[in-house]
Structure 1
Amino acid sequence: MYKKILSGVAALLAFAGMLQAQETVKDYDLDEVVVTATRMNLPLKSIPQKVEIIDKDKILSIPAENAAELLKRATNLDMIQYPGASATVGMRGFSPTAHARSYTLVMIDGLPSGTSNLTTLPTSVIERIEVIKGPYSVLYGTDAMGGVINIITKKATLQKTGEVSLKGGSFGTTSFDANAAGMLSDRVGVVVGFSNQIQQKDYRIGGKNLLKISKTEKLILDEKSYDDVYPNTTFQMSQLFGKLNYSVNNQWNVSVSSFYNLASDVETPGNYFTQIASKKDIGRLNLFSEISHTSENNKLIIAPYYSNEKNWNYETAASDKTNFISFKDDVSEYGVRTNNTYYLNHITLLAGMDYDVLDYQSTRQSKKGNEASPYKPNNRNQRLSAFVQTNYELGDLSINGGLRANYIRYKIFKHDSLSNKSTSDNYFYLIPSLGLKYNLPKGFNVHASVGKAFSIPDAFATSGFYEVNTMVGEWPFRMAYVGNADLKPETSITYEGGMGYYRDTFYFDLTYFNTTHKNKIVTRRTSGMGNEADSTHYENAKSASMSGLEFIGSINIGQLVGWNNKVEIYGGLTYMFNNIFTEFATEKVKDLLFVNKANGNFGISYDNRKGFTTRLHARYKGRRLERDGFSRARPLITKENYYTKGGYKETDKILQFSDHLIFDYSAFYNLTPKARIGISVSNLFDENYTEKDGYNMPGRNIMGHASYFF
C-alpha cells in the first residue's frame, strides 16, 4: 500500500514537471518580508537572529486545526501534547513544560497571548506565524528565553474578502470556519471571524510504525495500543474573533481586537495505561488595542492588552448530577506596551517601556463542597521594563544592539494547606543583545548574534504541591510533586552564527547555536519508603549547556527551469550536539529530558497555477528521554530496558523513546475562482507515537475540505 501511495505522488510530481509554461511566475521576495516581532518592523534581510516564517501557503495546505498542530508540522520544535486540547512547545534545548510557564513566549499580533496552550489557537484567522529562535528577552522580558512565536491574524484590506469553509472526516470530526475582512470606508476597517471544531468520536491510535523500533520502544508505547481506540478523547471548541481599525487621519490610527475561545466538554482520558477519565472546559478572552502615531521620522505605539483564561476540570467524564469541579484556575494577564521608533538616515532607533502583570488563582475540591490543597499558591508577577534597541544599516551591513532594564516584583500568597509562607521577591536584570548581518555578493550572507536572557521560577516549582493517587491494575500508584522555596532565577547567554543564501529560486540558512545556562531548574526523583509516595523535587542545576546546528532551505524547481508550475522542495532540521546539565550535589553531568535529539520537517509541493495544489509533508521526531512514570503499568519493562548513558543508572528509570517519521498529504482544486475543494490525510502511514509518555496520539485520519471565497 505504501509503495502505491509513494508511486502515485511521484507520478503526480513527474507529470507536473512536464508541464512547461510560457512565462515564469515569481513568488514573494524574502527581502520584502517584514518581521513585526522586532517591534521595528524590520525586513527579514536585516535581522541577524534566526527567523522562520510560516506563510499562508503552508497554513492552507498543511493539515492543522490549531497552532500546536501547525507549528509541530511546519518548524522544528519540541512539544509536550496530551489528548484533551493541551500542548506546549520548546525550542533549541529549552524543554516544553506542562506545569509552569514556558521558555517560549507566545504572542498574538505582537502582544502576550495569555496562554501557553497552543491547541486553543485555531488556524482559521491566522495570516502567518513568525518563529524567532534564540533569546529575545531584550524586547520581551522573562518568557522569551528560548524564543518567540508571534501569531499574526488577518487584517482588513482595500479589497473586501471573505471565506466560509467546512471540513469533515475521521473520528466524527467536523470543522466550520467563516471570516470576512475589508474597509467599510476610507477610514474604517473590520475583520470578523468564527470557528467551531467538534470531534464526536474517540480517536483510534495508529496501527503501524514507519521506522523500525526496538522491542523496548514498542513496549513503551504498549503493544496493546496499536490500532486501539483511545476512550474519552472527544471535544468541541469554538472561537469568535473581531478586529476594528479606525484611521483618525494620516497620522493617527486606532485598532481594537478581541478573541473569545471556548472549549467545552473536553474529555481528558488520562494516560493510556490507567485511563482515569475526567473532562474540562476552557475559556479565554483576549482584548487588544493599539494607538499609533506615524510621522515622517518616527512611529509611536501604545498598546494596552488584557487576557483571561479559565480552566474548569471536572472529576469524571460522565455528564451526571454527581459530577463536580475538582480544579479551577483563573489566569489574568494585562498591561501596556509602548515604544517609539525613530528613523535617522541609516539608523533605526527603538525605545520604549512595558508594564506587565500576571495574576494566578486556583481552587480544588476533593469532594463536592470539600476544599482541598491547590497545586500551587495564588501568585502575582509584576514587571516594569525600559528598553532601547538600535539597527544600523550601512550598505549591505546591518548591526543591531539593545539593552533592557527589568524590574520584577513576584508575590506568592500564603495558603494554609500548602504550608507555604507569603513571600515577596524583587529582581532587577540588565539584558543586552548584539547582532550583525552582512549581505555578500551573489546572494550569500553571514550573520551572528549574542543575547542574554532570564526566567523567574513559577510558583509551582517554588511552593507548589501536587499528589497523584491512583491504581495501576492491582497496584496503588502515588507520586508527589514538591516545590522548593530556595530556587533561584535562571539566566542564560546564547551565541549563534551562520551563513545563508537567497536567490529567486533557492534559499538556505545554516546556523550554529550554543547556550550556557546558569541555575537551570531541573527535577530530581526520590523513592518513598513504606507507605510514602515517590516524589519529584525541583532544584537548580550547577550549570547547563545546549548546542546544535539548524538548517532550513527550499528550492523552486519549476521556476529554476522556467516552468509556470511551482514545484518546491523544502526542508529544515535542528540537531542537538549536546543538551546537558550538571547537578549541584553530585556534580554528575546528565542529559536533559523532554528534548528530541533532532527535529526536522521536509516536503515537496506542487502548484499548477490553474487551481490545483498538492503537498506531501513529513515531520521527523528524533529520540528523546523521559523518566518512567508508569513502571507498574508496564511490567514487561525491566531494569535492563532503562537508559544507562548520559549520567543515568538503572534506578533512575529513564526511558529512551524512538524516533518517528510522520507524513501528511493534501490536495486542493479550485472548481471556480471562488469555490475550492480538497482532501488531507494526517499521519499518512499510520504511525503510533507520543508527544508525552503514556499519551498516544491519533493514528491516520482523513478530512474533506470545501471552501467558498467572496
Structure 2
Amino acid sequence: MTTNSAIAACGRAEATRFRPAEANVPFSLRKRIVRRRGKRSAGCHIRDGPCVDDLHNTQRNIPTTIRLIMKSNFVKPSKSFIRMAGLLAVLSTVCRPDAAAKEVAKTDSADYVADEIVVSSTRTDEKLKNIPRKVEVITSKDIEALDPDNATELLQKTAGVDVIEYPGVLSGVSMRGFVPNYGSYLNPQYVTYLLDGRPLGTYNLASVDMNMIERVEVIKGPSSALYGSKGMGGTINFITKKSRGPIKGTASLGYGSFETFEGNAAVGGSISDRFDFDIGFRYFNQGEDYKVGKNTLISNPDPQILERDIDTMHNSTYSTNSGMMRVGYRLNDNFRVDLRGAFFNAPSVHTPGSIWGYYGEGMKDVYRKTADLSLTGTAGRHSIKFMPYWSKDESNNLKQTEATQNKPSKIYPYYLGDFEEYGFQLQDVIALGNHRITGGLDYDNQTYKTRRYSAPDVAQRPYSADSRTSDFGLFTQAALSFLDNRLIVTPGVRFDATTFGLLDTPLVPNVNTEKEHDGFFSPSLAFQYSFVPELKVHSSIGRAFVAPSGLQKAGEYVDSFGRTVRGNPDLEPETSRTWDVGLTWSDTKKGVRADVTYYDTDFKDFITQVQRTDGSTTYMTYVNAGSAKIRGLEFELSYDFGALADYRYSLRCFVNYTHQFENDVTMGGVTSPMKYVRDGLGSFGIEYDDFRLLSARLSGRYLGTSYEDNYYRSYGRLPNVLVIKNEPALVFDATVGIKINAQNRVDLMVKNLLDENYAEKTGYNMPGRWYGMKYIVTF
C-alpha cells in the first residue's frame, strides 16, 4: 500500500552539523538531525547514505536497518541455523565495532513523505503529488514489514489486486475488474509488468522475488498510450536498487514453519567516483508440505468446494535461488551507463494438483533470466534514455520413468514452454520551463515455442505451432503545468504497428508462415487541479488494447489433435475505454491522506475460439465476440498519530478498499458476472515504529465473492453446477521487529494469523498459519 505519512523526522530541525554528502539532496533534508533524551544523536538523519560532519570535517556512513522474520506450525530451528545466525551477529560487530554500543535512529524520507516520492512509471521522473492518476507506491518499508516470498504476495497484500495463484511457483495479478493471467502466454494479459520501466519478461509473478527491489509503483487505469499492448487495468513497475556512495550490505537468515529456510545477501555502493554496483542473491527452500487453514471467519463455504476436511497439500515442497547484479559507470558529468543481469531458478518444483484430484501431483522446472543495458543522461533541455533488453522465461513439466531391472528411473521434461523477449526503448524528455514533453520509440519482439516428449529424447508433435509477434511503438506525452502548478494536464498518444506470424515448427506439418500486420492508436488525457495545497481533484480518460497472439492472427497449422487451426487476419485487438475521477486530501504535516476514485470501463472485442467450415474443410479460428461493463470505487485512508508528537514515533492506521459496482460480461446475448474477479478487495491495519528499538505491524486482507466456471461438474467430488461461487475470506498477518543495535535486527512474523482456509484459485488451497523468524545484519 502507499506509505503516505509525513516526515518521521528523528527530531526537530536544528543546526546543520551533519549534512548529506551528496550535493543534490534538498535543503529541507539537510537540516534534519536528532534530539533524543535531550541530546543530539550524531549520525541520525532521514535518508540512507553518507553524511558529512562539518564540525570535524569527516564523513560517516549512516547504517541502514537490519531485521529477522517468522511464519503456522513453527518448526524448531536447526543447530546449523543457530550457528549461522550467531556468525552473522559476530560478523556485524567485527565489521562495525563502534556501532555495537550505539543506538542510531533511522527513518527514510521516501517512506514518510509520500507526496515527495519520485515516480518513474509515467516515463518521466515526477513527484507523486504531480501525477494526475491513481498511483500507489509500495515502499521498501512495506517490503521489509511483509517479507513477501514473491511479487504476487506483496501485491495482493498492498495494492488491491485480483490474484490467480497455484502452489508451485505460478501466479499473476490484475486490477480494476480485469481477469488475472496466471502466467500463461496463450491467454491475454491485462496489466503491464515492468522492470525499471522496460518489459519484465514474464507473466509469472511468482518467479519475481523482492530481494533487489527498492519499491513498486502501481498505476491504475489504462497505460497503452505509454507502453502499448496489455495495459488495460494498469501498470506495475518494479524499481531495482541502485546504490551509490560508501559500500553497504545486508545478510539475513530466516527459518519458519513447513521447514522453510531462507538466506539473503545484498551489497552495493561506489567503487570509485565513476564506478558503482549492486549485487544480491537469495535462496529459499520449503522442505515440508504445507498445511492448509482450519477456519473460515466470515463465510460458510460449500464443503465440496473448499474441502475443509483436508489437512495438508501433499507434494507442495520447492526451492528457488535467484540473483541480480548491476554495474554502473559515469561517463562524464551528464551521462552514465548501467549494465544489469538477473536470474531465477526453481528446479524440480513439486506441484500438488487440485484437492479433488482431477489434476494429479507433478513436478516442473521454472527458469528465468534477463539482462539490459541503459544509457541515460542530460544535454541542455534534453533528458535522454536508451535501453536495450532481453529476457527468457522457461517452464518445463517433468515426468519420471519407472525403474526396471536393467534401467534406473529417469526424470525427463514431457512439456517445455519457452518465451523469449527482446527489444529497446529510446526516449527524450524535453524541458520547456515548467512543462515537459516526452517522446520516443519502442521496439519489442516476442517468441513463444513449445515442445513435447512421450519418453526421454522421444519428441512428439506440439499442441500448437511456434509464433512470433513484433511491435514498433511511437509515443509522445506532455506534462503541462499552469497556475503555479495548481493545474497539471498530461495529454498523450501512441501508435503501435504490430507484425504477427507463425514459425516453422518441428513435427508440425504444413505451417503457413505468412505474416499479418495491424496498427492501433491509443490516446489518453489526464488532469488534476489543486484547490488548496492539500486538496486536489484528478481525472483521466484513455483507450487501451490487448493485441492478439501470432497464433490467433496469422497463418495456419495442424495441431496435435489433427485439427486445422487458422489465424484470422481480420481479428481486432481486445479494446477498452476507461475514465475515472477522484478526490485526494493529503496533509503531510498532519499525517493524513485520503483518496476516493470512481472508474468506469467499456470493454469489447473479446477474442474467443470458434469452429468454422470452409467448403469441405472444418477448422478452428478466432473471432471477436462479447463485451463487458466494469464500474467500481477505490477508497484509501490513512492517519499517522505520530504527527501529534512531531513524528518522534510513527503509529499509522490505514485502509484501502476497492468495490465493484458492476462487472458483467455479455456473450451471445447472455449476461453473466465476470469470472475470477472479486467483487471487493481490501487491506487494512496498523503499524508502529519508534525509530530506535521496536517496530510492529498488524494487517488484514479482505477477499470478496468471485465466480469460476466449473469444467468438471461431472466429477464426483465437485458440485454439479455450471458456475462455482467462492465465498469471502479474511487473512491477517503480524510482524514484530526488535533492533538489537544499529547493525542487528530480529523480526518475528506470523502469516495467516487466524489460520484462514482459503484459495486464490478454486481447488488449490493456500497455506494456513505460518510462523517464522529472520535475523538481518547490516555491514
TM-score for both structures, normalised by structure 2: 0.79
Q: 1:606 aligns with which of 677, 682, 688?
A: 688
Q: Is this contact kept in 1: 2:501–2:551, CA < 8 A?
A: no
Secondary structure of residue in 1 paired with 2:682: strand
Task: Give how far 1:108 is off.
Answer: 1.1
Trace 1:169-568 onto structure 2 (pairs within 5 A): 169-214=256-301, 216=302, 218-225=303-310, 228-274=311-357, 276-316=360-400, 321-394=409-482, 395=484, 396-413=486-503, 421-441=512-532, 443-458=534-549, 485-486=567-568, 487-504=571-588, 505-521=591-607, 540-560=624-644, 562=646, 564-568=648-652
Are 2:751 and 1:701 aligned? no
- Per the alignment, residue 679 of structure 1 pairs with 748
> What does the per-residue CA deviation read over 1:52-96, in whole Å, with 9 as the maximum and x for residues that have no partner?
000011100013121111111111001111011000111111111
Are 2:664 and 1:580 aligned? yes
Task: Give how far 1:322 is off.
Answer: 3.5
Matching residue's letter, 2:595? D
- Per the alignment, residue 592 of structure 1 pairs with 674
The verdict on how the C-alpha distance between 1:307 and 1:208 changes in structure 2, with shifts beyond 3 A counting, is same
Q: Is this contact kept in 2: 1:22–1:563, CA < 8 A?
A: no
Matching residue's letter, 1:350? T
Secondary structure of residue in 2 paired with 1:138: helix
Q: Is this contact kept in 1: 2:308–2:757, CA < 8 A?
A: no
For residues 196 and 483 of structure 1, the distance between their equivalents in structure 2, rounded to whole angstroms, comes to 43
The verdict on how the C-alpha distance between 1:600 and 1:483 changes in structure 2, with shifts beyond 3 A counting, is farther
Secondary structure of residue in 1 paired with 2:643: helix
The verdict on how the C-alpha distance between 1:230 and 1:484 changes in structure 2, with shifts beyond 3 A counting, is farther
Are 2:203 and 1:112 aligned? no
Q: Is this contact kept in 1: 2:423–2:443, CA < 8 A?
A: yes
Q: Is this contact kept in 1: 2:226–2:475, CA < 8 A?
A: yes
For residues 647 and 211 of structure 2, the distance between their equivalents in structure 1, rounded to whole angstroms, comes to 32
- Per the alignment, residue 239 of structure 2 pairs with 152
For residues 679 and 243 of structure 2, the distance between their equivalents in structure 1, rounded to whole angstroms, comes to 42
- Per the alignment, residue 667 of structure 1 pairs with 736
For residues 438 and 644 of structure 2, the distance between their equivalents in structure 1, rounded to whole angstroms, comes to 40
Matching residue's letter, 1:413? L
For residues 626 and 377 of structure 1, the distance between their equivalents in structure 2, rounded to whole angstroms, comes to 29
For residues 318 and 440 of structure 1, the distance between their equivalents in structure 2, rounded to whole angstroms, comes to 73
Matching residue's letter, 2:758? Y
The verdict on how the C-alpha distance between 1:481 and 1:518 changes in structure 2, with shifts beyond 3 A counting, is farther
Q: Note the aligned Cα RMSD (angstroms).
A: 2.7
Task: Give how far 1:466 is off.
Answer: 9.4
Q: Highest Rg: 1 or 2? A: 2
For residues 117 and 353 of structure 2, the distance between their equivalents in structure 1, rounded to whole angstroms, comes to 43
Matching residue's letter, 1:91? M
Q: Is this contact kept in 2: 1:279–1:316, CA < 8 A?
A: no
Which gives a bigger RCO, structure 1 or 2 (Cα 8 Å, sep 6+)? 2
Task: Give how far 1:223 is off.
Answer: 3.0
Secondary structure of residue in 2 paired with 1:279: strand
Task: Specify every segment of 5 or more residues in structure 2 that has no aligned partner in the other structure, as ranges.
Answer: 1-35, 40-45, 47-106, 612-619
The verdict on how the C-alpha distance between 1:467 and 1:222 changes in structure 2, with shifts beyond 3 A counting, is farther
Matching residue's letter, 1:573? Y
For residues 418 and 131 of structure 1, the distance between their equivalents in structure 2, rounded to whole angstroms, comes to 44
Matching residue's letter, 1:378? D
Q: Is this contact kept in 1: 2:736–2:749, CA < 8 A?
A: yes
Task: Give how far 1:278 is off.
Answer: 1.6
Secondary structure of residue in 2 paired with 1:45: helix
> What does the per-residue CA deviation read over 1:477-501, in whole Å, with 9 as the maximum and x for residues that have no partner?
xxx9997844532111110111000
Task: Give how far 1:617 is off.
Answer: 0.8
The verdict on how the C-alpha distance between 1:419 and 1:50 changes in structure 2, with shifts beyond 3 A counting, is farther
Secondary structure of residue in 2 paired with 1:695: coil
Q: Is this contact kept in 1: 2:676–2:706, CA < 8 A?
A: yes
The share of aligned pairs that are identical, in percent, is 30
The verdict on how the C-alpha distance between 1:163 and 1:500 changes in structure 2, with shifts beyond 3 A counting, is same
Secondary structure of residue in 1 paired with 2:230: helix
Q: Which moved more, 1:539-548 or 1:568-577?
A: 539-548
For residues 201 and 580 of structure 1, the distance between their equivalents in structure 2, rounded to whole angstroms, comes to 41
Q: Which moved more, 1:416-425 or 1:543-552?
A: 416-425
The verdict on how the C-alpha distance between 1:576 and 1:461 changes in structure 2, with shifts beyond 3 A counting, is farther
The verdict on how the C-alpha distance between 1:459 and 1:675 changes in structure 2, with shifts beyond 3 A counting, is same
> What does the per-residue CA deviation read over 1:150-174, in whole Å, with 9 as the maximum and x for residues that have no partner?
0011111213221001111111110
For residues 155 and 402 of structure 2, the distance between their equivalents in structure 1, rounded to whole angstroms, comes to 33
> What does the per-residue CA deviation read over 1:103-140, in whole Å, with 9 as the maximum and x for residues that have no partner?
11111111111101111111111110001111111111
Matching residue's letter, 1:364? R
For residues 489 and 435 of structure 2, the distance between their equivalents in structure 1, rounded to whole angstroms, comes to 10
Matching residue's letter, 2:666? T
- Per the alignment, residue 646 of structure 1 pairs with none
Are 2:697 and 1:615 aligned? yes
Q: Is this contact kept in 2: 1:667–1:678, CA < 8 A?
A: yes
Task: Give how far 1:521 is off.
Answer: 3.2
The verdict on how the C-alpha distance between 1:466 and 1:550 changes in structure 2, with shifts beyond 3 A counting, is farther
For residues 330 and 343 of structure 1, the distance between their equivalents in structure 2, rounded to whole angstroms, comes to 42
Task: Give how far 1:563 is off.
Answer: 5.8
> What does the per-residue CA deviation read over 1:323-362, in whole Å, with 9 as the maximum and x for residues that have no partner?
3211112211111101000000121010100111011111
Task: Give how far 1:276 is off.
Answer: 1.4
The verdict on how the C-alpha distance between 1:317 and 1:131 changes in structure 2, with shifts beyond 3 A counting, is farther
For residues 558 and 740 of structure 2, the distance between their equivalents in structure 1, rounded to whole angstroms, comes to 57
Q: Is this contact kept in 1: 2:508–2:558, CA < 8 A?
A: no
- Per the alignment, residue 9 of structure 1 pairs with none
Matching residue's letter, 2:409? K
Task: Give how far 1:424 is off.
Answer: 2.3
For residues 558 and 701 of structure 2, the distance between their equivalents in structure 1, rounded to whole angstroms, comes to 36
Task: Give how far 1:538 is off.
Answer: 6.9
> What does the per-residue CA deviation read over 1:496-541, in whole Å, with 9 as the maximum and x for residues that have no partner?
111000002000111111111120236899xxxxxxxxxx997533
Secondary structure of residue in 2 paired with 1:299: strand
> What does the per-residue CA deviation read over 1:557-576, in whole Å, with 9 as the maximum and x for residues that have no partner?
12235462211001111111
The aligned length equals 651
For residues 21 and 685 of structure 1, the distance between their equivalents in structure 2, rounded to whole angstroms, comes to 39
TM-score for both structures, normalised by structure 1: 0.87
For residues 661 and 705 of structure 1, the distance between their equivalents in structure 2, rounded to whole angstroms, comes to 25
Task: Give how far 1:411 is off.
Answer: 0.8
- Per the alignment, residue 76 of structure 2 pairs with none
Q: Is this contact kept in 1: 2:304–2:717, CA < 8 A?
A: no
For residues 490 and 508 of structure 1, the distance between their equivalents in structure 2, rounded to whole angstroms, comes to 34
- Per the alignment, residue 65 of structure 1 pairs with 149
Task: Specify every segment of 5 or more residues in structure 1 that has no aligned partner in the other structure, as ranges.
Answer: 1-19, 469-479, 526-535, 643-652
Matching residue's letter, 2:739? N
Q: Which moved more, 1:143-152 or 1:171-180?
A: 143-152
- Per the alignment, residue 647 of structure 1 pairs with none
For residues 375 and 510 of structure 1, the distance between their equivalents in structure 2, rounded to whole angstroms, comes to 47
For residues 424 and 679 of structure 2, the distance between their equivalents in structure 1, rounded to whole angstroms, comes to 39
The verdict on how the C-alpha distance between 1:323 and 1:460 changes in structure 2, with shifts beyond 3 A counting, is farther
The verdict on how the C-alpha distance between 1:543 and 1:636 changes in structure 2, with shifts beyond 3 A counting, is closer
Matching residue's letter, 1:349? I
For residues 629 and 462 of structure 2, the distance between their equivalents in structure 1, rounded to whole angstroms, comes to 34
